[in-house]
């Protein structure tokens, strides 16, 4: 089997609930996605997707993704898409760094390989560990009243897990989290996510003032060492996200004892191949795991769901249904969401049925 054609589409995906706000004025109105279709000489097509959250969230930006896919794709023509490790090495050889650019291409190869084998992707990722994964929803940065009202609405809609955005003015964020915690049942699972927005001094201020609230601290500072300095005085679990950029970084986190859990972003790591590798090692090392991404619709959410449900249930934290965030549709048979749980679609590969007519005209095509 060989790769015969590659098409790439740009799909702007506006948010259902309006602008997504983080601390320090960081805001995005949409996911600006690149969707890739890779077709083999046997006529099987695999799909991949990558979408940064603005230009501020990670070292990735939409225009860079589009430009990079055009550079890499010609080198993949004629390659066996089932040789997933070799595809990864080839992409790293012809295009150094920038793992986010390679993510959709890698994902499409996984989808194609699983469809060719007529098995769900979850089977190739280690097997299905449970039927559904529990999801969380985000309380974005805003005023006390806005955040408390949003938290109440989310809980009323059946979700039991909240990620509360912090990382701005410490004293204001103390008040915000206190307001949110007071507005929801005590059984609500709360993560306080600073998105690396604080210095260790600020993070310690926040942690000390909120000792009476039950939450998990998520990525308060930028570097592993800074987060470790906070963890030394912390009496709560800590999860790292932005720090997990490679297998080597994950092993450093383990060596230092800097976290209890990890959030693995598919595009940040370069695709399904490396996410699965790091996930499996991290599970064996005892970490709790969340698998998600920086954004996307049905294609990317399906990949997250397959990776989540192939993670041992006792090591899985939660998942997120990104396709419910956006106003556009890219595929039928999306990952099913029932209440606060998400499953995987029926069918081979990712299980979704992408409708190319919903994607517009490709910005790139070869083969």
User: Residue 191 corresponds to which tokens in the numbers above?
Assistant: 């993560």
Angle at 91 between CA 7 and CA 59, to 5 degrees: 85
- The answer to whether 101 and 88 are in contact (CB under 8 A) is no
First to last CA, the chain: 15
Give the position of tokens 């490790």: 85
Half-sphere exposure of residue 329: CA atoms within 13 angstroms, side-chain side: 10
Active-site residue flag, 265: yes
By CB atoms closer than 10 A (0-12, 13-18, 19+), residue 158 is exposed
Residues 165, 236, 332, 361: which is the catalytic one? 165
Pairing of strands 331-332, 341-342: unpaired
The 3-state DSSP class for residue 276 equals helix
> How far is 224 from 242, CA to CA, in rounded Å?
9
Phi, psi for 143 (deg, rounded to 5): -75, 170
Residues 4, 7, 102, 265: which is the catalytic one? 265
Angle at 204 between CA 202 and CA 260, to 5 degrees: 120
Q: How far is CA 260 from CA 46, 73, 131, in A?
A: 35, 38, 25
- Enumerate the active-site residues: 165, 265
């Amino acid at each position: 089997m060989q790769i015969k054609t590659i098409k790439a589409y740009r799909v702007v995906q506006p948010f259902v609930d309006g602008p997504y706000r983080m601390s320090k004025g960081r805001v995005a109105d949409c996911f600006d996605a690149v969707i890739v279709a890779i077709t083999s000489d046997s006529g099987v097509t695999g799909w991949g997707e990558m979408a940064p959250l603005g230009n501020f969230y990670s070292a990735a930006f939409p225009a860079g993704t589009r430009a990079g896919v055009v550079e890499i794709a010609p080198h993949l023509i004629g390659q066996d898409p089932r040789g997933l490790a070799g595809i990864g090495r080839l992409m790293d050889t012809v295009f150094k760094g920038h793992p986010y650019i390679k993510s959709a291409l890698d994902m499409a190869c996984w989808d194609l390989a699983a469809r060719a084998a007529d098995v769900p992707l979850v089977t190739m990722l280690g097997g299905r560990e449970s039927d559904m994964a529990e999801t969380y929803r985000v309380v974005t940065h805003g005023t006390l009243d806005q955040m408390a009202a949003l938290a109440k609405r989310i809980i009323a809609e059946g979700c039991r897990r909240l990620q509360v955005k912090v990382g701005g003015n410490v004293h204001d964020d103390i008040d915000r989290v206190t307001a949110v915690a007071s507005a929801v049942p005590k059984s609500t699972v709360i993560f306080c996510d600073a998105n690396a927005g604080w210095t260790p001094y600020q993070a310690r201020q926040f942690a000390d003032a909120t000792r009476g609230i039950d939450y998990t601290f998520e990525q308060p500072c930028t570097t592993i060492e800074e987060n470790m300095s906070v963890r030394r005085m912390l009496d709560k679990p800590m999860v790292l996200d932005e720090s997990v950029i490679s297998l080597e970084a994950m092993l450093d986190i383990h060596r230092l004892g800097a976290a209890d859990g990890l959030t693995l972003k598919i595009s940040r790591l370069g695709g399904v191949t490396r996410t699965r590798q790091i996930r499996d090692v991290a599970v064996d090392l005892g970490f709790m795991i969340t698998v998600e991404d920086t954004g996307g619709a049905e294609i990317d959410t399906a990949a997250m769901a397959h990776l989540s449900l192939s993670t041992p249930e006792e090591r899985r934290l939660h998942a997120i249904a990104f396709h419910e965030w956006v106003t556009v549709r890219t595929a039928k048979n999306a990952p099913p969401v029932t209440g606060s749980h998400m499953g995987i679609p029926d069918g081979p590969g990712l299980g979704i049925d992408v409708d190319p007519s919903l994607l517009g005209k490709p910005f790139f095509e070869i083969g």
